[in-house]
Structure 1
Amino acid sequence: MSARVAIVVGAGGELGRATAGKLAAAGFTVVGVDRSADGLKELPDGIESVVGDASDPAAAKTLVDRIAAEVGPPEVLVNTLGTYHLGDALDATPDDLKLMLDVNTGAALWLTQAVVPYMKDRGAILHVAARPGIEPTAGMTTYAVSKAALVHLVRVLDVELRPRGIRVNAVAPAVLNTAKNRPYLPPELLAHAVEPEAVAEVIAFLVSDGAAPVSGAIVPTYGA
């Protein structure tokens, strides 16, 4: 096995699965993490998998510690976790906001805390943000706020971790062309949706040695 270990969280989803495949093709020993065992079964052959809910702070550390002990210390973390909620600001509830922050923002922080001790003076972390976290968008308040918090978290992590040799970046898709999204997308939006494989290519570059000068970037992957 390669000595270069990459963890892909959310690997049961289409973006996570595509990313895991790209990193394996680039020579990493990849471990996919997802709370859905069924989703992990669709990973390409040769990719390890671990079932667990990384949005739980304790579980996130346990998952990373297990992977480091059984496979090797991670050099790369890609976090594709995310959940979505529609609703205006005046209709938002405490439960809506808590769920969005726990999954879309909290998981990124807990996973980062868990992997950094293993990265020492070399590592790359990539979180998946979203266009509404950069540009104000009506009708999805709690989701947009949680992704905006993630964008700022990435920038804070860059300032804190770059001096330690650890790079932190994010991609920000608008709409992904996935089986989960397609039933809800009107034709005009679906026509501009981006394939997960295309975003995975960008992710694979950002965690590669070729992107060594890049840290603290929020890279739009909106498509045409």
Structure 2
Amino acid sequence: MTARVAILAGAGGELGRTTAQKLAAAGFTVVGLDRNEDALKELPDGIRYEVGDPTDPVVAKSLVDRIAAEVGPPEVLVNTIGTYHLGDALDATPEDLRLMIDVNAGTALWLTQAVAPYLRERGSGAIVHVAARQGVEPTAGMATYSLSKAALVHLTRLLDLELRPLGIRVNAVAPQLIDTEKNRQFVPPEVLAHAVSPEAIADLVVYLVSDAAAPISGAVVPAYGA
């Protein structure tokens, strides 16, 4: 198998679909993962997908192993999976915190664990997670979300320390707000005016997994918009 395989988690979302298209245009054989099969069906022809919920570590490993066996060992992992919650720290519930940590940080860890053996075997590879500005700079009114994205930022840097000696690069992109159809439904126009397009984020991701970005690992690249 000679394909350069890229696994894209969260491929059913707007950012995921856009990133899938750009990875394919860059020469990767892309396999999208998402729990929403209907959303995956909107991927362009030629992009394979697998339905499953990578927030479950057993499912994440099963999906990655099947892709490696049927398509080829992965060279790249891109993780765009995330969710958010509004609310102050004093109003946070255990359920709020658990959901944010499980989805925004846990998924990144389980997917990395599943992919790393294949990258280690080849002696190279690149992983990119989508973090957020709120994980770098505390943001009032988004307590559990900020905590979970801060965990993802720290995880990215920890993974860099552990995996870089194996030839595996780990980076993250940190948008503040992405201009998606979903966000346009509730974000005020004056705030949305400063949002970053999915295409711009996808371009950053594709660069970070490219050979041109070979010296870059452990970076959390800000994509805060205007």
TM range (shorter): over 0.9
Q: Equivalents in 2 of 1:162, 1:2: separation in Å?
A: 24
The aligned counterpart of 1:27 is: 27
Secondary structure of 1:180 counterpart: helix
8 A contact 1:2–1:29 mirrored in 2: no
Q: Equivalents in 2 of 1:161, 1:137: separation in Å?
A: 30
The aligned counterpart of 1:135 is: 137
The aligned counterpart of 1:67 is: 67
Secondary structure of 2:182 counterpart: coil
The aligned counterpart of 1:81 is: 81
Amino acid at match of 1:149: A
Secondary structure of 1:138 counterpart: coil
Secondary structure of 2:185 counterpart: helix
Amino acid at match of 2:179: N
8 A contact 1:10–1:81 mirrored in 2: yes
Secondary structure of 1:27 counterpart: coil
The alpha carbon displacement at 1:103 in A equals 0.3
Q: Equivalents in 2 of 1:100, 1:78: separation in Å?
A: 19
Which residue of 210, 214, 217 maps to 1:212? 214
The alpha carbon displacement at 1:2 in A equals 5.2
Root mean square deviation, CA, Å: 0.8
Secondary structure of 1:168 counterpart: strand
8 A contact 1:12–1:40 mirrored in 2: yes
TM alignment of 1:101-116, pairs within 5 A: 101-116=101-116
Q: Equivalents in 2 of 1:169, 1:75: separation in Å?
A: 14
Which 4+ stretches in 1 moved above 4 angstroms? none
TM alignment of 1:1-224, pairs within 5 A: 3-120=3-120, 121-224=123-226
8 A contact 1:178–1:195 mirrored in 2: yes
Q: Equivalents in 2 of 1:22, 1:154: separation in Å?
A: 23
Q: Equivalents in 2 of 1:129, 1:2: separation in Å?
A: 31
Amino acid at match of 1:213: P
Secondary structure of 1:181 counterpart: helix
The alpha carbon displacement at 1:223 in A equals 1.1
Unaligned runs of 5+ in 2: none
TM-score using structure 2 length: 0.98
Secondary structure of 1:31 counterpart: strand
Secondary structure of 1:184 counterpart: coil
Unaligned runs of 5+ in 1: none
8 A contact 1:53–1:60 mirrored in 2: yes
Amino acid at match of 2:83: T
Q: Equivalents in 1 of 2:197, 2:39: separation in Å?
A: 18
Q: Equivalents in 1 of 2:65, 2:8: separation in Å?
A: 14
Number of residue pairs matched by the alignment: 224
How far does the alpha carbon of each residue in 1:61-82 deviate from its partner, in whole angstroms, 9 at most, with x for none? Answer: 0110111011000000000000
Q: Equivalents in 1 of 2:170, 2:92: separation in Å?
A: 31
How far does the alpha carbon of each residue in 1:169-217 deviate from its partner, in whole angstroms, 9 at most, with x for none? Answer: 0000011111111011111111111110110000000000010000000
8 A contact 1:2–1:28 mirrored in 2: no
Secondary structure of 1:44 counterpart: coil
- Identity percentage of aligned residues: 74
Amino acid at match of 1:215: S
